[in-house]
Copies of this chain bind each other. A is one copy, B any other.
Amino acid sequence: MLRSAAQLRGIEAPDVWVPDNEDATAPSMRDEGVRNIISIVSEHGKDFPGEIHPRVVWHRDSPSTRYQSFQRMLEIADPENGAVEHIDGFVIPEVGAIDDWKKADEFITIVENEHGLKEGSLTMSVIVESGEAELALGELRDEMGKPANDLERMFLLVDGEVDYTKDMRAMTPTGELPSWPELRHNTSRGASANGLIAIDGPYDDIRDVEGYHERMTDNQAKGMLGIWSLTPGQVEEANKSPLPPKSGSWRLDVNDRNVELEEEDGRYVYDGKDIGLEELGDDRYGLRVGGDERELDGDELEEELLNLADYIPSMTDIVDSMEEFEAAKEAGRGAIAMEQSGTLVVDGVEVTIGKDRMWDEATYQAAQTPITLFQDVYENRPDQHEDLEEMYGEDIVERAMVVG
């Protein structure tokens, strides 16, 4: 598995590859596992397109586990083994309070010193899977930068929901994991306050692609931009998920569920049964939403559908809007109205609706997040250029790289 992971490329290769020496390796096999990591990384590391951050064992409550962690990091980072030149940092699971983070940090400092590596050259990522560690997210900013530690080496903050659930002694009737919105918020906030990157833990149900997408959308709304992937299929989904779609689309909010409309010849067709629409003639319409029926004139109908409809902008839409706002700003205007319009079809009746949105500097900067992410990926992952150009077309990729 290490060997095949090392050879992933393009949209199938992750930005960060974590060769695992913790849960994915049986305890009795971990010394051999370390040798496997060294062997595969020294052979393939040079050509791997993303960063490489092995995960070693750790536990806030077990000094012997922490000592094993130290010994294995020493071995993996030994320049004589040929792997460390391709290794960017280590992932430390099961951390506790901030003082526990400092212990791992100190071991990495000693590892760097012993092997003549530059202090701080190896990053440290942690897996937040205890209440203690969650609290540490709020203290990190006050500790980073103190002369007695090297916590500036911090890189990823990863949530680990299975062990967190155990640590919190949480239970659900079906055994499913709770969704832990507060943990994910606090992890994302910790990343924001410390210039780090927040990553969600593994999504266990590998076959549930739709569920994986929903989780990523929920994470992105919290500022948690990445997610653990267990398979090359999940990697590809995770790589694509935060990027804007190729084409814009409309969706309707029906009974608190979002139904995406299918495009047919530039019109967006709703074919569910929860909304019904009938032309009564003489600019009168019968609209049924859920159980409620109302008679409306054309303007009221448009207003009503506007309330139910949302537009999901495409990459092109976002780049267009940003370019338009940049031009307006250059011309001395601080705010402009952007219009989105579309023709929806419900029960064969066509209704054209349009939404104005005021863009000012703050809107512009908030809209920029997916573009900045795109630019970041594009710059750091030449192996994905072909995939991205195939997804979006060369023209829009070029424009997306210069806007902002």
Q: Determine if A326 is an interface residue (Cβ-Cβ < 8 Å).
A: no
Instruction: Name the interface residues of A134-152: CB closer than 8 Å to any CB of B.
Output: 134-135, 138, 141
Q: Determine if A189 is an interface residue (Cβ-Cβ < 8 Å).
A: yes
Q: Determine if A26 is an interface residue (Cβ-Cβ < 8 Å).
A: yes
Query: Do A221 and B171 have beta carbons less than 8 Å apart?
Result: yes
Contact of A141 among B26, B97, B220, B290 (CB under 8 A): B97
A186 to B183, CA, bound (A): 10
A257 to B256, CA, bound (A): 9
Q: Determine if A106 is an interface residue (Cβ-Cβ < 8 Å).
A: no
Instruction: Name the interface residues of A346-395: CB closer than 8 Å to any CB of B.
Output: 357-358, 360-363, 365-370, 373
Q: Determine if A35 is an interface residue (Cβ-Cβ < 8 Å).
A: no
Per-position contact with B for A175-218: 1 when CB-CB < 8 Å, else 0?
11110011101101111110000000000100000000000010
The stretch that binds B, out of A36-44, A48-56, A70-78, A160-168, is A160-168
Query: Do A171 and B369 have beta carbons less than 8 Å apart?
Result: yes
Query: Do A131 and B192 have beta carbons less than 8 Å apart?
Result: yes
Query: Do A169 and B225 have beta carbons less than 8 Å apart?
Result: yes
Query: Do A193 and B131 have beta carbons less than 8 Å apart?
Result: yes
Q: Determine if A272 is an interface residue (Cβ-Cβ < 8 Å).
A: yes
- If A132-B193, A274-B290, A311-B174 touch, whether A185 touches B182 (CB-CB below 8 Å) is yes
Interface size class of A (residues with CB under 8 A): 35 or more
Q: Determine if A23 is an interface residue (Cβ-Cβ < 8 Å).
A: yes
Contact of A192 among B167, B217, B313 (CB under 8 A): B167
Q: Determine if A223 is an interface residue (Cβ-Cβ < 8 Å).
A: yes
Q: Determine if A173 is an interface residue (Cβ-Cβ < 8 Å).
A: yes
Query: Do B312 and A173 have beta carbons less than 8 Å apart?
Result: yes
Name the B residues within 8 Å of A165 (CB-CB): 223, 366, 369
Q: Determine if A172 is an interface residue (Cβ-Cβ < 8 Å).
A: yes
| Nearest neighbor of A28 in chain B, beta-carbon distance | B332
- Chain A residues with CB under 8 Å of chain B are 23, 26, 97, 130-132, 134-135, 138, 141, 162-163, 165-178, 181-183, 185-186, 188-193, 204, 217, 220-223, 225, 242, 255-257, 272-274, 290-293, 310-313, 332, 334, 357-358, 360-363, 365-370, 373
